[in-house]
Structure 1
Amino acid sequence: MRDTPDPRDGPREALRWVRQTNNGAVLFVRELVSSALVVALVGLLLFAVSGLWPPFVAVESGSMNPQLERGDLVFLMEEHRFAPPAAHGDTGVVTYRAGTQADYAKFDSPGDVVVYEPDGDPDATPVIHRVRFWVNGSENWYDEANQQYLMGADDCAELRNCPAPHAGFITKGDANDYYDQATTISAPVKPDWVRGTAEFHVPGLGWVRLVVTGDASLDGVL
């Protein structure tokens, strides 16, 4: 085959030449374009399944050890997509308590693991923690909580976010000692703060994203 296409042969022959030539520069561009198309097709498929873009997050801390470790890449799904019957109301999210009763588990424990914006701040580092239970606005949730996760509070008056300032989820990292809402991480998580539910993870692959974004050396919450 000629090293260059003959302009007199027309565009169809030129395209055939591009597809079949062994010219080094053309081979490089051809492989680059085909790889980009594969990535685009995979991305479109993942978006179609998850309903989110991007559908992945990288874990930045060990708050969900050993189920999710720092550097893991986690696939997310829009929480209302294929919501199970045990989900709380119309939130699409299953709490730890409901999961225990319904035999519904994610990452080796009852209930959903969600990615949410702490205090609804879209600029804050997202948090990936397990949903424990639901509270209503102005609810005294001290008595229904697990006492060991309350940072030593003896009653609602000593417990942060109690009574609940608004309705939402009480959350906690599996490896953390306290509820997020008993600390400064976040108020009860409103449903519209939830970005999605964690479905599965690829160990270690998230380090690529952390290095590219410059978060590899940070001790983030996510």
Structure 2
Amino acid sequence: MKRTIPLIITSVTALVLILSQATMLGRKLEIPKILDRYYLLAQAGAFMLGSIGRTRLHLQNIIRRREGYAYSIVLLVALWGFFILGLFQTSNGRVYQWVFNATLPHLESTTFAVIAFYIASAAYRAFRMRNIDSSILLITGALVILGSVPIGEAMWKALPSIKTWIMNVPNSAVQRGLQICIRVGSFAVALRVLLALERAHVGRGSD
């Protein structure tokens, strides 16, 4: 029953959503809007369960003084601090906005700065002319990078136009192919879930 009931709920919900979009009765009843409310409730419940699980894990790290337990303290203070603050103010509240804007943009800037070094390291290893494919990748990447910065235009005025052409023509063709593959794959997975053939999302174990 632990696996059968979730599969039945998933299949029935998917079938109801499909029929609500494909039939006039479903559109009049506005079934998707009704289900969206339950989705928000389920999302809030899942978030709370995840928060409790994270809290228990990091409390164990703090109590046992495991390596890096200071990060656990920061995480718990941020998690439950925002939660408690949200009980007294909405997301548009002055204090809530101040705390949000004073922390998140700086953390994002730091994260992207660190990622930039990893990207540069990966680019250094990837951009080597070992064969024809890597040579094309190196030349194309160099043209796009130089065409995106002022120094590239100073070196050759045609570089921005070349960069725009690469992004709009070859890149768009590749993106369309990827999007088609993603859509077909998503449809196949959705069909398997609808027919209860895909069971990875309900975990392992006996029914």
Task: Give the TM-score normalised by structure 2.
Answer: 0.24
> 1 or 2 for the larger relative contact order (CA 8 Å, sep ≥6)?
2
Q: Which has the higher helix share?
A: 2
Task: Give the TM-score normalised by structure 1.
Answer: 0.23
Q: Which has the higher strand share?
A: 1
Bigger radius of gyration, 1 or 2? 2
